[in-house]
Amino acid sequence: MKNGMLVEAEIWTVAHTEQGNAVLVKPLGSDLAVPIFIGQLEAHSILIGLGGVPMPRPLTHDLLVSLMEKMSVALERIEITELKEGTFYSRLLLRQGGKKIFIDSRPSDALGLAVRVKCPIFISEVIIGEAGVSVKLVADEEKKATSPSSLDLEIDRLKTEMEKALEVENYEEAARLRDKLRELGHSG
Protein backbone atom coordinates (compact mmCIF):
# COMPACT_ATOMS: atom_id res chain seq x y z
CA MET A 1 0.00 0.00 0.00
CA LYS A 2 1.52 3.31 -1.06
CA ASN A 3 0.30 5.12 2.05
CA GLY A 4 2.19 3.02 4.54
CA MET A 5 1.22 0.48 7.09
CA LEU A 6 -2.16 0.68 8.81
CA VAL A 7 -2.26 0.84 12.61
CA GLU A 8 -5.23 0.32 14.88
CA ALA A 9 -6.83 3.48 16.24
CA GLU A 10 -9.81 4.77 18.18
CA ILE A 11 -12.00 7.84 18.23
CA TRP A 12 -10.37 9.96 20.92
CA THR A 13 -12.98 12.73 20.88
CA VAL A 14 -15.37 14.73 18.73
CA ALA A 15 -14.79 18.45 19.12
CA HIS A 16 -16.11 21.77 17.88
CA THR A 17 -13.27 24.03 16.78
CA GLU A 18 -12.99 27.43 15.11
CA GLN A 19 -12.66 25.55 11.79
CA GLY A 20 -15.74 23.40 12.44
CA ASN A 21 -16.47 19.96 13.87
CA ALA A 22 -13.63 17.46 13.99
CA VAL A 23 -13.39 13.83 14.96
CA LEU A 24 -9.95 13.07 16.40
CA VAL A 25 -8.70 9.61 15.51
CA LYS A 26 -5.89 8.46 17.82
CA PRO A 27 -3.68 5.43 17.13
CA LEU A 28 -3.72 3.05 20.12
CA GLY A 29 -0.87 3.85 22.51
CA SER A 30 0.07 7.05 20.68
CA ASP A 31 0.21 10.63 21.95
CA LEU A 32 -0.88 11.91 18.52
CA ALA A 33 -4.38 12.26 17.13
CA VAL A 34 -5.48 13.04 13.57
CA PRO A 35 -8.23 15.68 13.31
CA ILE A 36 -10.68 14.93 10.50
CA PHE A 37 -13.08 17.81 9.89
CA ILE A 38 -16.67 16.73 9.33
CA GLY A 39 -20.12 18.28 9.08
CA GLN A 40 -22.37 18.90 12.05
CA LEU A 41 -24.83 16.13 11.13
CA GLU A 42 -21.98 13.65 10.79
CA ALA A 43 -20.58 14.74 14.18
CA HIS A 44 -24.00 14.21 15.76
CA SER A 45 -24.34 10.78 14.19
CA ILE A 46 -20.92 9.70 15.49
CA LEU A 47 -21.73 11.04 18.98
CA ILE A 48 -25.09 9.25 18.97
CA GLY A 49 -23.33 6.01 17.95
CA LEU A 50 -20.60 6.45 20.57
CA GLY A 51 -23.15 7.11 23.28
CA GLY A 52 -25.50 4.34 22.19
CA VAL A 53 -28.31 6.92 22.22
CA PRO A 54 -31.58 5.24 21.22
CA MET A 55 -33.35 7.12 18.44
CA PRO A 56 -37.09 6.90 17.82
CA ARG A 57 -36.41 6.16 14.14
CA PRO A 58 -33.26 4.79 12.50
CA LEU A 59 -30.68 7.29 11.25
CA THR A 60 -28.88 6.58 7.97
CA HIS A 61 -26.04 4.71 9.68
CA ASP A 62 -28.53 2.61 11.65
CA LEU A 63 -30.33 1.80 8.40
CA LEU A 64 -27.07 0.65 6.81
CA VAL A 65 -26.28 -1.55 9.82
CA SER A 66 -29.76 -3.12 9.55
CA LEU A 67 -29.28 -3.73 5.81
CA MET A 68 -25.91 -5.38 6.40
CA GLU A 69 -27.39 -7.62 9.12
CA LYS A 70 -30.32 -8.67 6.89
CA MET A 71 -27.92 -9.45 4.04
CA SER A 72 -25.49 -11.37 6.30
CA VAL A 73 -22.71 -8.85 5.70
CA ALA A 74 -20.31 -8.03 8.54
CA LEU A 75 -18.29 -4.83 8.80
CA GLU A 76 -14.91 -6.21 9.84
CA ARG A 77 -13.04 -2.90 10.03
CA ILE A 78 -12.69 0.55 8.58
CA GLU A 79 -9.48 1.93 7.15
CA ILE A 80 -8.52 5.59 6.80
CA THR A 81 -6.07 5.14 3.96
CA GLU A 82 -5.09 8.40 2.31
CA LEU A 83 -4.80 12.16 2.69
CA LYS A 84 -4.73 13.97 -0.67
CA GLU A 85 -4.87 17.77 -0.92
CA GLY A 86 -6.49 18.05 2.50
CA THR A 87 -9.12 15.35 1.85
CA PHE A 88 -9.14 12.09 3.80
CA TYR A 89 -10.08 8.84 2.09
CA SER A 90 -11.31 5.68 3.74
CA ARG A 91 -12.84 2.33 2.98
CA LEU A 92 -14.95 -0.33 4.60
CA LEU A 93 -13.79 -3.94 4.78
CA LEU A 94 -16.92 -6.08 4.65
CA ARG A 95 -17.23 -9.84 4.78
CA GLN A 96 -20.07 -11.85 3.31
CA GLY A 97 -19.52 -15.52 3.90
CA GLY A 98 -15.91 -16.14 2.88
CA LYS A 99 -15.80 -13.15 0.53
CA LYS A 100 -14.02 -9.88 1.40
CA ILE A 101 -15.51 -6.71 -0.05
CA PHE A 102 -13.86 -3.27 0.02
CA ILE A 103 -16.06 -0.19 -0.41
CA ASP A 104 -14.85 3.41 -0.61
CA SER A 105 -16.39 5.67 2.01
CA ARG A 106 -16.11 9.13 3.49
CA PRO A 107 -14.28 8.84 6.83
CA SER A 108 -17.27 10.37 8.66
CA ASP A 109 -19.60 7.66 7.31
CA ALA A 110 -17.08 4.90 8.00
CA LEU A 111 -16.65 6.13 11.59
CA GLY A 112 -20.43 6.46 12.02
CA LEU A 113 -20.77 2.78 11.10
CA ALA A 114 -17.74 1.66 13.13
CA VAL A 115 -19.07 3.11 16.39
CA ARG A 116 -22.38 1.31 15.89
CA VAL A 117 -20.97 -2.15 15.12
CA LYS A 118 -17.91 -1.67 17.35
CA CYS A 119 -15.46 -2.80 14.69
CA PRO A 120 -11.77 -1.88 14.64
CA ILE A 121 -10.60 1.40 13.12
CA PHE A 122 -7.28 1.55 11.26
CA ILE A 123 -5.34 4.56 9.98
CA SER A 124 -2.30 4.90 7.75
CA GLU A 125 1.00 5.69 9.50
CA VAL A 126 1.74 8.16 6.70
CA ILE A 127 -1.43 10.12 7.58
CA ILE A 128 -0.44 10.16 11.26
CA GLY A 129 2.96 11.58 10.26
CA GLU A 130 1.40 14.24 8.02
CA ALA A 131 -1.64 15.31 10.02
CA GLY A 132 -1.16 14.06 13.60
CA VAL A 133 -1.27 16.60 16.42
CA SER A 134 -0.29 16.14 20.05
CA VAL A 135 -3.24 15.09 22.22
CA LYS A 136 -1.76 17.23 25.00
CA LEU A 137 -1.92 20.28 22.72
CA VAL A 138 -5.55 19.50 21.84
CA ALA A 139 -6.47 18.98 25.50
CA ASP A 140 -4.81 22.29 26.46
CA GLU A 141 -6.68 24.15 23.70
CA GLU A 142 -9.98 22.62 24.81
CA LYS A 143 -9.37 23.83 28.39
CA LYS A 144 -8.81 27.37 27.07
CA ALA A 145 -12.12 27.35 25.16
CA THR A 146 -14.82 29.57 26.62
CA SER A 147 -17.40 26.79 26.61
CA PRO A 148 -16.86 23.03 26.57
CA SER A 149 -17.11 21.65 23.05
CA SER A 150 -18.97 18.53 24.18
CA LEU A 151 -21.64 20.75 25.79
CA ASP A 152 -22.00 22.74 22.56
CA LEU A 153 -22.44 19.54 20.56
CA GLU A 154 -24.96 18.17 23.07
CA ILE A 155 -26.98 21.41 22.91
CA ASP A 156 -26.92 21.33 19.09
CA ARG A 157 -27.97 17.67 19.11
CA LEU A 158 -30.86 18.35 21.48
CA LYS A 159 -32.02 21.34 19.40
CA THR A 160 -31.94 19.22 16.24
CA GLU A 161 -33.90 16.41 17.92
CA MET A 162 -36.43 18.93 19.26
CA GLU A 163 -36.95 20.39 15.76
CA LYS A 164 -37.47 16.88 14.36
CA ALA A 165 -39.96 16.06 17.13
CA LEU A 166 -41.90 19.23 16.33
CA GLU A 167 -41.90 18.40 12.60
CA VAL A 168 -43.61 15.08 13.26
CA GLU A 169 -45.88 16.68 15.87
CA ASN A 170 -44.44 14.66 18.74
CA TYR A 171 -45.02 17.45 21.25
CA GLU A 172 -44.38 15.30 24.32
CA GLU A 173 -40.86 14.47 23.08
CA ALA A 174 -40.28 18.11 22.04
CA ALA A 175 -41.26 19.29 25.53
CA ARG A 176 -38.90 16.73 27.12
CA LEU A 177 -36.03 17.95 24.92
CA ARG A 178 -36.90 21.59 25.64
CA ASP A 179 -36.68 20.83 29.37
CA LYS A 180 -33.26 19.19 28.89
CA LEU A 181 -32.06 22.28 27.03
CA ARG A 182 -33.29 24.48 29.87
CA GLU A 183 -31.36 22.30 32.34
CA LEU A 184 -28.24 22.91 30.28
CA GLY A 185 -28.87 26.66 30.45
CA HIS A 186 -30.26 27.04 26.96
CA SER A 187 -33.77 28.25 26.24
CA GLY A 188 -34.06 26.22 23.00
- Residue 70's CATH number: 3.10.690.10
Q: Which amino acid is at 169?
A: E
Residues 6+ apart with CB under 8 A from 52: none
Instruction: Please report whether residue 10 resides in a domain.
Output: yes
Domain boundary among 145, 160, 175: 145
Same domain, 81 and 121: yes
Residue 143: pLDDT over 60: no
32 and 66 in a single domain? The answer is yes
Give domain status of residue 1, yes or no.
Answer: no
b/e burial code for range 56-78 (CB count within 10 A of at least 16 → b)? eeebebbebbeebeeeebebebb
Q: Quote the pLDDT of residue 188.
A: 45
Amino acid residing at 75: L
How many domains, the chain?
2
User: Quick one: average pLDDT of 161-183?
Assistant: 80
pLDDT the model gives residue 3: 60
Indicate if 152 and 135 belong to the same structural domain.
Answer: no
Does residue 106 sit in the same domain as residue 17?
yes
Residue 52 forms part of a structural domain:
yes
User: Where is the domain boundary, 113, 130, 145?
Assistant: 145
pLDDT (0 to 100) of residue 171? 82
| Separation CA 129–CA 156 (nearest Å) | 33
The answer to whether residues 93 and 161 belong to one domain is no
If you write DSSP's letter for every residue of the chain in order, what string do you get? -TT--EEEEEEEEEEEETTEEEEEEEETT-SEEEEEEE-HHHHHHHHHHHHT---SS--HHHHHHHHHHHTT-EEEEEEEEEEETTEEEEEEEEEETTEEEEEEE-HHHHHHHHHHHT--EEEEHHHHHHH-EEHHHHHHHHHHSSS-HHHHHHHHHHHHHHHHHHHTT-HHHHHHHHHHHHHTT---
Tell me, yes or no, whether 23 and 109 share the same domain. Answer: yes
- pLDDT higher than 70, residue 173: yes
Statement: residue 139 has pLDDT above 90: no
Interacting residues of 75 by C-beta distance below 8 A, sequence separation 6+ = 65, 68, 92, 93, 94, 113, 114, 117, 119
Could you tell me how many residues make up the chain?
188
The pLDDT confidence band at residue 25, using thresholds 50, 70 and 90, is very high
Mean pLDDT of 127-145: 76
187, pLDDT greater than 50: no
What is the pLDDT, as a whole number, of residue 26?
95
Encode pLDDT of 70-96 as tens digits: 999 999 999 999 999 999 999 999 999
Look at residue 76 and tell me if it is in a domain.
Answer: yes
Supply the mean pLDDT for the chain.
85
Q: Sheet holding 32-38: strands in order across?
A: 99-105, 87-96, 74-84, 121-124, 6-17, 20-27, 32-38, 133-134
Q: Which residue has the higher pLDDT, 156 or 33?
A: 33
Q: What is the pLDDT of residue 166?
A: 82
Same domain, 102 and 160: no
The verdict on 153 and 130 lying in the same domain is no
**Mean pLDDT, range 112-118, rounded to an integer:** 94
Residue 35 belongs to some domain of the structure:
yes
Dump pLDDT digits (tens) for 28-71.
999 999 999 999 889 988 988 888 878 888 888 889 999 999 99
pLDDT bin (cut points 50, 70, 90) of residue 146 is very low
137 and 156 share one domain: no
The domain containing residue 184 runs over which residues?
Answer: 147-188
- Higher-pLDDT residue of 126 and 16 is 126
